[in-house]
Amino acid sequence: MIRDRPSSSLHKPQAILPSMKVKGPNPIDVLPPTQDPNAASMLQVMQLKRLYRQGWLKRGVGAVDCESVADHSFSVAMLALIAPLPSGVALDRTKAALMALVHELGEVYAGDITPVDGVAPEEKTRLERESVERVLEGHGEAGTLSALWEEFETGATAEGRWVRELDRLEMGLQAALYRAEGWPHMEEFIASADRSVRDASLRKLLASVTGADPGT
């Protein structure tokens, strides 16, 4: 049973599209109330383990096999640790991995909004920024983590631009896996990754898995 929650910005109903598919309610709304901001932030972050990557579902991947947003974030972070670094660019790999871990915090309350949902980019960014603020409200590292999220959103730093490419690269790799497992409609995701990934080393990695042309 979901318990009644005290009135707080941490406990407002999710600002999520009715069509958004999740495995269950936000853990902050299931577990007993906590006044610990560290626990509150973590319980909300755990919702990303319950939020499906909506694009896969919309193209027919079954719920049992569909990755979560947390799965995706972990994989992007691992790419930040193991993918080849861009040539001639000074880049902090550890910072990039941290950025990858927080880059989907905006989806805790906004959900995984896809291009076919009809939400304007400006509105999507607004909803996601509000989500980040709610998740990190009262947390001692809110400023640092929010800044990492903003860097990813804007691509204003070398790390931000690289992680944005890793985000698309990971999608392409996951699509190749789904394609190999027999799920249809994966070519559009692979093609999207091929258009978005521009770094030569990352393109080579993508092509080694998907068979796409590694040339630019």
What is the pTM assigned to this prediction? 0.91
Residue 154 lies in a domain: yes
Domain count, the chain: 1
More confident residue, 11 or 178: 178
Residue 20 lies in a domain: no
**Amino acid 215: pLDDT:** 79
Where residue 8 falls among pLDDT bands split at 50, 70, 90?
very low
**Amino acid 116: pLDDT:** 92
Would you say residue 44 has pLDDT above 60?
A: yes
Domain with residue 119: its CATH number is 1.10.3210.10
**Amino acid 15: pLDDT:** 52
Domain extent, residue 117, equals 33-209
Residue 25 lies in a domain: no
Residue 11 lies in a domain: no
Where residue 4 falls among pLDDT bands split at 50, 70, 90?
very low
Range with the poorest average pLDDT among 8-12, 50-54, 57-61, 188-192: 8-12
**Taking a C-beta distance cutoff of 8 angstroms, is the pair 53, 65 a contact?**
no
**Taking a C-beta distance cutoff of 8 angstroms, is the pair 50, 23 a contact?**
yes
**Amino acid 216: pLDDT:** 63
Distance CA 198, CA 195 (A): 7
154-171: average pLDDT: 98
SS (H, E, C) the chain: CCCCCCCCHHHCCCCCCCCCCECCCCHHHCCCCCCCHHHHHHHHHHHHHCEECHHHHHCCCCCCCCCEHHHHHHHHHHHHHHCCCCCCCCCCHHHHHHHHHHCCCCHHHHCCCCHHHCCCHHHHHHHHHHHHHHHHCCCCCHHHHHHHHHHHHHCCCHHHHHHHHHHHHHHHHHHHHHHHCCCCCCHHHHHHHHHHCCCHHHHHHHHHHHCCCCCC
Per-residue pLDDT tens digits for 114-161: 999 999 999 999 999 999 999 999 999 999 999 999 999 999 999 999
Q: What is the mean pLDDT of the chain?
A: 92
Residue 96 lies in a domain: yes
Where residue 5 falls among pLDDT bands split at 50, 70, 90?
very low
35-55: average pLDDT: 98
Exposure string over 78-93, b if 16+ CB within 10 A, otherwise e: ebbeebebbeeeeeee
**Amino acid 213: pLDDT:** 82
Residue 142 lies in a domain: yes
Residue 62 lies in a domain: yes
Residue 59 lies in a domain: yes
Per-residue pLDDT tens digits for 177-203: 999 999 999 999 999 999 999 999 999
